[in-house]
């Protein structure tokens, strides 16, 4: 028997020598409260942390050298999660065994005590090496894990844009340049670890360039980073990127896909690797059968829900469901809140939100940032859940007085916002045009903007506090007050009373035209 055990040990040593150590890194990003399976147009029952648990458990059954990383934005997007301050999400990730998470900008959507609560209940660290307070890192900068004899350093980087995106609850913090921080930190980590992983919430692609570091820019500027696991831009990669010898991966959004990076490590070096984005029960619509029933085909392999994650999540979902499922109206048309649309042009849902603020406050003008609109509402019954999914941030309505000249400053800034940015301006009570980034025409309720006239403006407290770069609103904040009306509640009331519950059509004509 001893000889058999010795032979087994010898064979294992030989295998490790010949083939190295297999290390698997699973990763998600921008989950935004999507703890439970959900449905999209012609794609029912997708995602869910219990399904993700099954996929990871399947790998762990044959390979113990597994890391599971979250690239930021745990918060904000699903009412059941939002109401409980992401407790369901964190509870589930604790059970699955999340290794670490980087701090995303949406971790600052709520007051600091909520973030502190989340970190206290999490059995995994919230990482960020470039967020400072009083000259010191505010979060854990990095961790080092021993995975099958391979030392893996994981350090976090948060987009510098957070200071602009989330000023209400991050104003006391300094967001240092990610590249400068990494240049100092990576050489130190290379001394302590075999593999260096940057777990980042930076984003990729030109839409996130400018004054804010992208993951590609990080890889190009900083030598020594083996892997970047990224989030923030919701990028649906088909294959991993390689920049300056650094592997860059990201796995879309909401847990629709689970990234899986397989490494073969030999003598402390990555000898070989492969990456895939595993569809989490995504489906292809194949049409209808003879009975009119929709037919779907799984994209890849179907996975069950792990009971040890599903059971507690089912309990959490029941909490508050009765109120969330209250019907407040009905729409005969699609109310468009798609991310790509509300960040690049007018939509009927954006108009409803802006008009609701005017209806509630009697303001002349309403301003709403496109990034604050998070979902569409499909034709059919409208519930409180729908509105909270569209407007999950808990923003309140802020009313202030602005001269026409100050309104012009708001529009001049908005005219410079690239399409695709959350700062893209949605308006009510106002129509305007711009050309090449210059404002050319402004009308308030059909009359030309009077630069000397004082107008009453309604917006959300996020923008009133300078969110998304609207510093000119913050500068005039003292001219008004926070109504205390939660914007989502205002929209609920507007649909119930202002629109009498039934939406057959709604003004989707352009309120802003850009050339």
Q: What is the pLDDT along the chain (515 residues), one digit of tens a residue?
A: 545 444 444 444 444 444 689 999 999 999 999 999 999 888 999 999 999 999 999 999 999 999 999 999 999 888 889 888 999 999 999 999 999 999 999 999 888 999 999 999 999 999 999 999 999 999 999 999 999 999 999 999 999 999 988 888 999 999 999 999 999 999 999 999 999 999 999 999 855 456 899 999 999 999 999 999 999 999 999 999 999 999 999 999 999 999 999 999 999 999 999 999 999 999 999 999 999 999 999 999 999 999 999 999 999 998 878 788 999 999 999 999 999 999 999 999 999 999 999 999 999 999 999 999 999 999 999 999 999 999 998 898 999 999 999 999 999 999 999 999 999 999 999 999 999 999 999 999 999 999 999 999 999 999 999 999 999 999 999 999 888 888 998 999 999 999 999 999 998 899 999 98
CA distance 199 to 210: 21
182 within some domain: yes
pTM of the model: 0.80
- Residue of 345, 338, 25, 327 lying closest to 196 (CA atoms): 25
Half-sphere exposure of residue 357: CA atoms within 13 angstroms, side-chain side: 32
In a domain, 140, yes or no: yes
Domain count, the chain: 2
CATH code of the domain covering residue 35: 3.60.21.10
Residue 3 falls within a domain, yes or no? no
Within this chain, do residues 82 and 134 fall inside the same structural domain, yes or no? yes
Q: Which contiguous run of DSSP H or E holds residue 179?
A: helix 178-192
Cβ neighbours of 3 (radius 10 Å): 7
The residue from 271, 294, 318 where one domain ends is 318
Does any domain span residue 347?
A: yes
Same domain, 144 and 193: yes
| Residue 417 lies inside a defined structural domain of this protein | yes
- Listed residues 318, 338, 361: the one ending a domain: 318
Same domain, yes or no: 306 and 347: no
CA 512 to chain centre: 26
Residues 369 and 310 in one domain: no
Are 194 and 334 in the same domain? no
Same domain, 193 and 62: yes
Domain stop point among 269, 290, 318: 318
Containing structural domain, residue 411 = 327-514
Same domain, 313 and 356: no
The answer on 311 and 331 residing in a single domain is no
Domain assignment present for residue 6? The answer is no
* Contact by Cβ (8 Å): 419, 343: yes
Same domain, 474 and 388: yes
Q: Which residues contact 338 (CB under 8 A, 6 or more apart)?
A: 347, 376
């Amino acid at each position: 028997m001893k000889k058999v055990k010795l032979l087994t040990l010898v064979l294992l040593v030989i295998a490790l020598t010949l083939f190295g150590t297999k290390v698997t890194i699973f990763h998600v990003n921008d989950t935004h409260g999507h703890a439970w399976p959900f449905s999209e147009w012609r794609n029912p029952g997708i995602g869910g942390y219990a399904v993700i648990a099954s996929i990871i458990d399947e790998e762990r059954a044959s390979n113990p050298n597994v890391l599971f990383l979250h690239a930021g934005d745990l918060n904000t997007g699903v009412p059941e999660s939002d109401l409980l301050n992401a407790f369901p999400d964190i509870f589930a990730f604790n059970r699955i065994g999340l290794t670490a998470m980087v701090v995303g900008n949406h971790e600052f959507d709520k007051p600091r005590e909520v973030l502190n609560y989340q970190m206290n209940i999490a059995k995994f660290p919230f990482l960020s090496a470039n967020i400072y307070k009083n000259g010191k890192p505010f979060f854990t900068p990095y961790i080092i894990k021993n995975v099958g004899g391979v030392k893996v350093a994981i350090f976090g980087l948060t987009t510098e844009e957070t200071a602009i995106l989330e000023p209400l609850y991050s104003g006391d913090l300094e967001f240092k340049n990610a590249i400068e921080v990494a240049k100092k930190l990576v050489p130190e980590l290379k001394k302590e670890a075999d593999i260096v992983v940057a777990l980042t919430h930076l984003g990729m692609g030109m839409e996130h360039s400018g004054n804010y570091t992208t993951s590609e820019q990080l890889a190009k500027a900083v030598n020594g980073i083996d892997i970047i696991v990224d989030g923030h831009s919701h990028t649906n990669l088909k294959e991993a990127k390689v920049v300056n010898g650094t592997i860059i991966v990201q796995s879309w959004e909401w847990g629709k896909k689970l990234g899986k990076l397989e490494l073969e490590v030999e003598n402390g070096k990555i000898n070989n690797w492969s990456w895939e984005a595993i569809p989490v029960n995504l489906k292809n619509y194949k049409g209808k059968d003879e009975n009119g029933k929709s037919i779907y085909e799984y994209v890849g392999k179907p996975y069950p829900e792990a009971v040890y994650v599903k059971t507690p999540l089912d309990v959490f979902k029941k909490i508050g469901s009765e109120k969330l499922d209250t019907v407040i109206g009905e729409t005969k048309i699609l109310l468009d809140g798609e991310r790509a649309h509300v960040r690049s042009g007018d939509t009927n849902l954006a108009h409803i939100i802006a008009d609701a603020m005017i209806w509630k406050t009697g303001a002349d003008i309403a301003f709403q940032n496109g990034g604050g609109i998070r979902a569409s509402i499909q034709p059919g019954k409208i519930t409180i859940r729908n509105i909270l999914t569209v407007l999950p941030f808990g923003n309140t309505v802020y009313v202030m007085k602005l001269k026409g000249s100050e309104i012009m400053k708001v529009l001049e800034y908005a005219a410079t916002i690239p399409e695709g940015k959350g700062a893209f301006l949605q308006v009510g009570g106002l129509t305007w045009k711009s050309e090449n980034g210059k404002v050319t025409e402004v009308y308030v309720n059909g009359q030309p903007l009077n630069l000397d006239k004082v107008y009453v403006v309604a917006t959300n407290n996020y923008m009133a506090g300078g969110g998304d770069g609207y510093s000119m609103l913050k500068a005039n904040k003292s001219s008004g007050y926070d109504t205390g009306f939660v914007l989502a509640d205002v929209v609920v009331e507007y649909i119930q009373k202002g629109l009498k519950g039934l939406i057959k059509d709604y003004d989707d004509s352009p309120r802003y035209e850009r050339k």
